[in-house]
Amino acid sequence: MIRRFKWTDLDTVMEIEKEAFPKSPYSRFTFSYYASAYRNNFLVYLVENKIVAYIIFYSDGHIISIAVKKAYRRRGIGTTLVGEVLKRTGGYAMVEVRASNEAAKKFYRHLGFSLYTIIPGYYGDEDALVMTRMPKPD
């Protein structure tokens, strides 16, 4: 089940974030900012009433962050969350991915994303690949 983020979800979302991005997790302040500024675009995914994933995105389809607990990966949860973004944007989405993150690149390519450009040093120590997915023509 997908629902909008609630403030009581913050600690769980931060645990998922730290597990998924141990080198550079977002801070409590960052999540609080997105929860306030983009409350309709901060979603969590629940399995048996437990939060196992989240996604944050801008209304234009720019995915800010997505993470799924390790124990729940490869079950279609990330695909479902990105699908929710695509439904809301008419099929367009964009995301930055670490150049070394092979799993993320494969995931987004599987969903129809392709390389748009590279941002040198985006992550400080590493380049970002900007990947986009365009709406399918009618």
138 inside domain: no
Q: Are 101 and 109 in contact (CB under 8 A)?
A: no
| Buried b / exposed e along 105-122 (16+ C-beta atoms within 10 A) | bebbeebbbeeeeeeeeb
Per-residue pLDDT of the chain (138 residues; tens, 9 = 90+): 999 999 999 999 999 999 998 888 999 999 999 999 999 999 999 999 999 999 999 999 999 999 999 999 999 999 999 999 999 999 999 999 999 999 999 999 999 999 999 999 998 889 999 999 998 776
71 inside domain: yes
Residues pairing with 22 in the sheet: none
49 inside domain: yes
**Tokens 């969350």 sit at which residue?**
81
Q: Are 42 and 34 in contact (CB under 8 A)?
A: yes
DSSP 123: T
106 inside domain: yes
Measured between alpha carbons, how far is 9 from 96 in angstroms, rounded to an integer? 25
What domain range is 63 assigned to? Answer: 2-133
CATH number of the domain enclosing 116: 3.40.630.30
Structural domains in the chain (count): 1
